[in-house]
Amino acid sequence: MSAHNSQDLLRRDPRAEWIARNRLHPLHGSVVSADMGEVRGPTGLLRKNPHKVGFIGPNGIKRIDRLKGNAAGAGKGRRSSAAQDIQLPLHQVENPDFYVVVVPDMVGGRLTAHDKDVIGQAHKLITGAEGNGAVLAVCFGQSKEEHFDTAGVDRLLLLEDECYEGYRPEQRLAALVQVESAYKPQFWLFPDSVNGGSDLGSRLAARIGERPAVQAWLVDSDSTVCRGAGGTTDITRSTPRLLMLAEECADPIDETRHEALPVELDSVPAVIAQLQDRGQVAVDPNAISLAEAEFILSAGNGIHNWDQFHSAAAVLGATEGASRVAVDDGFMPRFRQVGATGTWVTARVYLAVGISGAIQHMQGIGQCDKVIAINTDAGCDMVKRAALSVIGDSEAILGELIKLAEDFRAQQSAGGDRDAA
Amino acid sequence: MQPNQFNVDAANKLKIVSLVSVGKHPQSGRMRRADQDSRAVELGLKLTGDNHSGESLVVLHAGDPGEPNLRSYAGMGLKSVRVLQLDPAADAILPLGQHLQQCGADIVLTGVRAESGESSGMVPYQLAEKLGWPIVPRVADIVSVKGGVAEVLQALPRGQRRSVMVKLPFIASVDSAAPEARQSAFGPASRALMDIEVVSASVDDVRQAWEEAAARKRPKRLKVVKAKTAAERFKAATAKSQGDGGKVMKNESAAEQAQAIFDLLKEEGVLR
């Protein structure tokens, strides 16, 4: 019994404990490092030695690293961590079993946020189905998009011929019918937007005899929920082959990179167009509401010659906007104010003259694509936000810009290609 | 309403059909004349000229002729509303197509999307496919009809307009950007004639399997920060949304700077 007990009994070594307590003892290191593994107390509780955490820094001060190995580039200075380009993992589809075709709007030659949502939905449909499918994007017109790969496009069909430029729904429809016969896609996805996606989708649905789901917002491979009755009811139905998807129907692709392999289409027959596009008609830019204007010329405190500003807006064909200061000083009416207290604008191009960019103003232009700043201060927030910043006197630059625009207009009217308003 | 400034060479020969449906108010849910359909009727009235109302403009509905809100279209100054009587569950495309073919319409006007039912906006497209006519979607105005060719103004996003030439006959869906419909007068509405024609149509079987419910509120998309460390999360929460540092022109002359701005504006296609 005594032999049995001697195994269970915890024998303490008071001398070793005493050495372990005394960090100045010459044998302290050997006693402490003897038990490097996890140390359990008498009750079985995990004990950590606070004295062993960290290391002694170069100036003799103890340093504790709490980043747990996440301090990427800590030694390279402050800037390096910001400008890191992360290579996303490549998603490859070789010999796809089926295709999901997406026809993005490509407003201004680039994928819109709505287009990216639709591509995200296409990938959701592929994961829901059996076999490995590929997303085929069919893009009409000149494309300026550079990030098809990170948007989630596996195969890319660019139709950049002259015959697809402008409003050519019939020719585009003929190309889509060709895609239908060549690829036999499992799903056709269109953004349900006023930028042409809804029009093209409806045309294709009527041509190939599919009954589409429009304003679909909750889609999987079996069932679809779409809005009906002008957005007041939800219709739950089985997923059709052709879908026109509402905005924010799915999350865009952001964790993978895709191949975006270019593919070709056999010659599309030329269609005798019944609709003849005569181009856009000149609309009074100031009659368009600020919230939906496409091109805004906005004035701030840096404007001194207001007549020049108004004439610049007129000759550029821009809608006028203003910062809060310009409105408070009485140079512009209140309904022209851009920003958190004024109008939240959605312009594609926002030309800010003499606006340094208060945070309320920056919130108001949060949805703008391209911001151009004319300012005297190179360090202001607007310059940081802008795609192109010009540092200098606004009056001189606007004057030069008016000259250029007037020359352009003169050429246009001389060329005679200006559309009849 | 402005005096008739419309440029017509053969207005009284032009036959216009406006397809109307019963609308639903988006907030109150009350049945009403549909907004876009009434704009289509208004555009039809403008095209035929107010003097000819009821003669060359046909307001056509497929469905239940007993629906009281149909009369509010007639209250816009029409003598009659033509109704193809069919079962509410039936597919209206076939009888509508036949009727349009028979009556020899030149321009067919519809709304973009109905305010009740499936509201897919497919009716004009399917009719166009069936009849082989061109379709012009989202029309804001029809400027002129000359020599069998119409000049149509299409409503684009951001308040823009596009001019499209199209040969008669064609189908156009009328956008909310079209001129607002005139008020409906109750007296003429109740006196108007309902010109009923009973037609047979097949039942829309596909739709029977669908479930309809009041619209659920869609979840708002949250800004998800996929950060792995506390430092990244902190940066995502505090950093200002900034572009990736654009081009800055500091020492160039004003002319060069203006040229750079001008080139960017042209590249973006906002200078027209």
Domain positions in chain B:
7-208
Mean pLDDT of A89-104: 90
Rounded alpha-carbon distances, angstroms, from residue A349 to B11, B24, B262: 43, 37, 12
- The class (CATH top level) of B7-208 is alpha beta
Question: Among A343-347, A396-400, B137-141, whose mean pLDDT is lowest?
Answer: A343-347
HSE-CB at A195 with a 13 A cutoff on CA atoms is 19
Please list every residue in chain B whose beta carbon sits closer than 8 Å to the beta carbon of residue A293: 158-159
Size of interface A-B (CB pairs under 8 A): 245
For the range B244-251, what are the long-range contacts, defined as Cβ-Cβ under 8 Å and sequence gap of 24 or more? B245/A384, B246/A371, B246/A386, B246/A387, B246/A388, B246/A389, B247/A387, B247/A388, B247/A389, B248/A378, B248/A383, B248/A389, B248/A391, B249/A388, B249/A389, B249/A390, B249/A391, B250/A378, B250/A391
Q: Which residues of A touch B262 (CB under 8 A)?
A: 401, 404-405, 408
Superfamily in which the A91-262 domain is placed by CATH:
HUPs (3.40.50.620)
Between chains, do B265 and A349 touch, taking CB under 8 Å as contact? yes
Contact B240 A381 (CB under 8 A): yes
Nearest CA in chain A to B28: A232
Residue A337 to residues A324, A356, B211, Cα–Cα distance (Å): 6, 15, 46
Residue B137 predicted with pLDDT over 80: yes
Where in chain A do CATH 3.40.50.620 domains reside? Answer: 91-262
List where CATH 3.40.50.1220 sits in chain A. Answer: 285-415
- pLDDT by residue (tens digit) across A285-340? 888 888 888 899 999 998 989 999 999 999 998 999 999 999 999 999 999 999 98
Contacts of A67 in chain B (CB under 8 A): 229, 231
Which of A207, A251, A275 is opposite residue B129, by nearest beta carbon?
A207
Q: Does domain A285-415 match CATH 3.40.50.1220? A: yes
Whether residue B242 and residue A384 make contact (CB cut-off 8 A), yes or no, is yes
Is the pLDDT at A418 greater than 70, yes or no? no
Q: Does B222 touch chain A (CB under 8 A)?
A: no
pLDDT digits (tens, 9 = 90+) for A213-238: 999 999 998 899 999 888 889 999 99
Q: Decide: B55 and B169 in contact? Cβ < 8 Å.
A: no
Question: Which residue from A203, A213, A254 is facing B125, i.e. has the nearest CB?
Answer: A203
Across the interface, of A283, A295, A386, the residue whose CB is closest to B243 is A386
Q: Which of A131-140, A388-397, A410-419, B85-94 has the lowest mean pLDDT?
A: A410-419
Q: CA-CA distance, A383 to B248, in Å (whole number)?
A: 8
What is the spatial distance between Cα A38 and Cα B47, in angstroms, rounded to a whole number? 90
Say if the Cβ atoms of A205 and B122 lie within 8 Å.
yes
Q: Which of A217, A251, A254 sits opposite B218 (nearest CB)?
A: A217
Out of B115, B221, B249, name the one closest to residue A248 (CB). B221
- Which of A107, A177, A233 has the highest number of chain B CBs within 10 A, making it the mutation to test binding with B? A233
Query: Tell me, what's the pLDDT at B248?
Result: 87
Rounded to the nearest angstrom, the minimum Cα separation between A261 and chain B is 26
